[in-house]
Amino acid sequence: MTAWSLKARILSDSLLSNLDPVSLARVIGAAQEVAYQAGETIFRQGSPADSVYLIQSGIVCLDLPSGRQVTALEGRFGEDAICDIPRYICTARALSDIVVIKCPLASFPNRNTLAREFKANTILSLGSSLAADNLAITDATPSKQPALASSTEIIGWFMCLLVPIFLYQQAIINLLPKQVAIFLALLSAGLIMWVFRLVDEFIPPLILILSALFIGLVPQEIALSGFSSSSFITLLGVFALSQAISSSGLSYRFVLWLLKKLPNRPIFQETALLAAGYSLSPISPSANNRLALVLPLFRDMRESLSLQKTNRSATALMAACFSGSMLMAAMFATSRSASISALEMISVQVRDQFSGIYWFAAAAVAALVLTLLHFVFTRWLFFDSTQNQLSKQRITEQLGVLGKINNREIVAIVCFFLFIIGSSTVSLHHINPAWLSGLVLIILLLTDSLSKDDFQKKIDWPMLVFLLGIDCLTRIMHHLGIHNLLSNYMSENFNFVHGSVEIFVVTALGITCALRLILPVTAGMLVACIMLIPLAELNGIHPWICVFLSALFSDIWFFPYQCSSYMQIRSAGLHHEFNESSFLIYNRLIDMGRVAAAFVSLPYWRWLGLL
Amino acid sequence: MSRLSTIEIKILFLFGLVALLSYFNSDKPRIFILHSSDPDIAFVQEFDSGTLRSLANNRLPISLKRHYLSLNRVHHKRDEVIKRTMAMHALRQFDPNLVITFGEDSNILISQVYEKQQRPDIVYSGILNPNDYYKSSSNKKIFGVRGGVPLDALKELLTEIYRDQTIKVSVVGRDNAAARATLKEISSYSWSQFRVQKAALFLYFDDLKSFIQSANQSDTNLLLVLNYAGLRDATTDEEISDREVVRWIESNSKSLPLGLQRNFVSDGASLAIEASRHEIGRQTMQMALDWLQSSRSRDMTPQSSINKHFDVAMRQDLLEKRGITLPMIFIEQARRSGQLF
């Protein structure tokens, strides 16, 4: 048989032809033609499953353990090997003189790296052989046709090239230094990528940093300084702790425990969901992650309580679920990764003071106001006289299935308290919270609470790169003196602030909301900080207040696309399980509550000496 | 026209971006620094650290290349020609907008290479000859920082040492372009109570020894050593180590040997004074950067400047042996620059 016909046979196979080209080439390279005489055994049941066979000519019979005999369909048998089954389930015999192509298992890629569709098809193929029935094999062949760019994409990419050139020329005409003109041009390209959602959020900062290095705009120690800052360790530690808490099952156990302990009345059911989100806030720097952890509970509770879409209690539960994940996002330095990055923009003293529990202490009034408003609005909008009851028995059973608290959960609890207590007692031990975060990371890695695989796959590396990239861009702007230009611009155009913190709050609200119309939440908050910090400094307003307001107001949204957490609910199809319009009204009220919380906090900040 | 795919449009963007960045890169001002000496020589390193100080405050993107002629160790004409050819090749390849030269040999080389050209702009640093010496008939954008011997400071230092005595000076050094220019500068300076009795430049150590022994017989009371690196043995033609030369001078010269290079003291002598190479480097680079920033928008006339900063190096024990005590201000100056031994 020629190599060409061997290749043709493998390529004509409905299963193997769906392998990726590199794997396919390997299989063709290792495959060999083998001939068997009638009655000869090809492999026996229980022998090591080490090859897949393609029938070139003849008939093969499979003797199943039940004694049943079937003829190999589809011209293929021995799929046990690529289904990760160590030994053949049946015996294969030649019914006539046959020629087969033997494809050794060693030439196939690791099953973990195979495409999901291919893995499903291997199981279907094995099932088909054993059942002697042609079970449907899904078409796993990916479309060879590359996706066509939408009009928005085409416009966006062309703007990415043309706007920077235009902006550069305008900057030079306006006698801005050349280096500033170049950076502004590059920055505009990054902003357009964000606005048009042309690439993932973390890619534009990388493009900007590398472009700046490419043309020698800044020395590499400045351009890459964000990656050597303490934020890197802080974020890494917090991401790792968040991952350990969720993957160990600790967070789910805690929420079930809360539901079991709290009285079985709607207000307490809602409170349990709210508390679950709140309790995750200090250690989970992503609202989406927090929401992902509590959304299954919403679904469980809704089903357990048999709530209909029109039922106000269902909407109240979703409001508690959503607000639990969102309301505390601005209240801790570690509950939003952008807050950790924003701290890098302010002086070392302020950063050290606010990177621990003091952030929460300063935000406590706002947190209290928002929590109270949540209860007021939910009682007002979603009050239901029906007293729906959760099945406590079911919760107890769920906890029973989880069993006793395991070692991974214990390590996660220890790390959680180590981080929280350590961050709040910096004045006693004088250890930077960033290094405590690093210690937490080491404990998790040493105790295998965070495996190598988790470290590779479950740490949000793109978000980490994005945040540190933004930090780098801020430092580049400082190096080039752009913050001075920005400061001058802000002082000239926002001189109406006149040192009034009330006007500053309104200005921060306007700038942040305007930016959030075009930028995603993290980028929006950080760009707002970049603009507002010079204005705060000019008006003698504490820079932390500026960072806090940016964090607080960046959660305000008018359109669903602005809020990834809400999009998460929609994409999970949960928006059919509550009254969406009532929920949106609630959300508008909470947004107004954020503004109120900022104003109510002012006397408290004065008392703390921040104003 | 068929619709572009996402990947095609991304590739188009990438090409555009790389083209624009490459254009910016090629449009960046290019500065070429040409040194006469080795990069491991102290005053060259001082000059380089001065240029880096100015560059640290610079925000204008520039390309910078340094080239070292290393003529201080060359003794054969053939090697000298090779070194010059290599420098010219590097210059042609880099095609600089502005050339900074440091050292008389590189100054002369550049003035010859670009004599008939309007470009590049040239900044001579540490120039020893009068400005006209470097002028080109076609290139008007030539300027520099004068920085030979800090003669005013030297005069003040000697006045402190010798008070009302008449100072009879012998001047000696290794023969090269810089030494010749320095000697010329010293000879033409108004010294009042100083008299330059004898002056000579040599290639061989034995000649220098004879000169100093002959000076010992006369009534000179100061030996001014312009430079000494690269002196050779007359019989073997081998280079004598700097340290050996300096130690011989220090132990055999009856009159106070005073070096005009700072490493004269680190090599074993008692006292040296030199123009601050760090400051010359800083001034030169600042001048070049200012010029690049301003020349794009206005037609400015290049301005030259004179470096008045200097460094002192001394060994107090050797000076005390000769019965010399310097004012505290000089001792402090040496200590601050790490040159008090």
Q: Across the interface, do A178 and B3 touch by the CB < 8 Å criterion?
A: no
Q: Which residues pair with A532 in a beta bridge?
A: none
Q: Is B237 on the interface with A (CB under 8 A)?
A: no
> Is the pLDDT assigned to residue B144 strictly greater than 80?
no
B149 versus B210: which is more confidently predicted? B210
How much of chain A, in percent, has pLDDT values that exceed 70?
Answer: 96
CA distance B107 to B98: 13
> Is the pLDDT assigned to residue B137 strictly greater than 70?
no
> Is the pLDDT assigned to residue B141 strictly greater than 80?
no
How much of chain B, in percent, has pLDDT values that exceed 90?
Answer: 30
Lowest-confidence pick of A86-100, A595-609, B52-66, B121-135: B121-135
Q: Are B199 and B237 in contact (CB under 8 A)?
A: no
> Is the pLDDT assigned to residue A359 strictly greater than 80?
yes
pLDDT in tens, A187-225: 999 989 988 889 988 899 999 999 999 999 999 999 999
Residues of B in Cβ contact (< 8 Å) with A148? 3-6
Q: Using H for helix, E for strand and C for coil, what is the string for B268-294?
A: CCCEEEEECHHHHHHHHHHHHHHHHHH
What is the helix (H) or strand (E) element at residue B36, kind and residue range?
none
CA distance B208 to B245: 9
Residues of B in Cβ contact (< 8 Å) with A216? 25, 28, 61-63
A305 versus B24: which is more confidently predicted? B24
What's the mean pLDDT in A231-236?
85
Q: Is B10 on the interface with A (CB under 8 A)?
A: yes
What's the mean pLDDT in B231-259?
91
Give A23's pLDDT tier (boundaries 50, 70, 90).
confident
Q: Which residues contact B184 (CB under 8 A, 6 or more apart)?
A: B128, B129
DSSP A185-240: HHHHHHHHHHHTT-S-TTHHHHHHHHHHHHTTSS-HHHHTGGGGSHHHHHHHHHHH
pLDDT in tens, A274-290: 988 898 888 777 787 78
Q: Is B3 on the interface with A (CB under 8 A)?
A: yes
What is the helix (H) or strand (E) element at residue B199, kind and residue range?
strand B194-202
Q: A54-58, A68-72, A392-396, A443-447: which has the highest mean pLDDT? A: A443-447
Give B153's pLDDT tier (boundaries 50, 70, 90).
confident
Nearest to A214 among B12, B21, B63 (CB): B21
Residues of A in Cβ contact (< 8 Å) with B62? 216
Q: Is A188 on the interface with B (CB under 8 A)?
A: no
> Is the pLDDT assigned to residue A498 strictly greater than 70?
yes
What's the mean pLDDT in A120-137?
77
CA distance A243 to A86: 33
> Is the pLDDT assigned to residue B1 strictly greater than 50?
no
**Complex ipTM:** 0.72
Q: Which amino acid is at B107?
A: N
Residues of B in Cβ contact (< 8 Å) with A147? 5-7
Q: To the nearest whole number, what is the mean pLDDT of chain B? A: 84
Q: Is B338 left (phi over 0), alpha (psi -120 to 50) or beta?
A: left
Residues of A in Cβ contact (< 8 Å) with B297? 175
Q: Is A75 on the interface with B (CB under 8 A)?
A: no
> Is the pLDDT assigned to residue A133 strictly greater than 80?
no
> Is the pLDDT assigned to residue A140 strictly greater than 60?
no
CA distance B59 to A479: 8
Quick one: B290 exposed, middle or buried, by C-beta within 10 A (0-12, 13-18, 19+)? middle
What's the mean pLDDT in A330-359?
85
Q: Is B13 on the interface with A (CB under 8 A)?
A: yes
What's the mean pLDDT in B245-256?
93
Query: How many angstroms from the chain centroid is the CA of residue A144?
Result: 29
Distances (CA, A) of A527 to A191, A558, B227: 10, 19, 59
The pLDDT value recorded for residue B55 is: 92
Give B2's pLDDT tier (boundaries 50, 70, 90).
low
pLDDT in tens, A412-443: 999 988 987 887 777 788 888 789 889 999 99
CA distance B18 to A274: 50
Q: What is the DSSP letter of A149?
A: P
Q: What is the DSSP letter of B148?
A: S
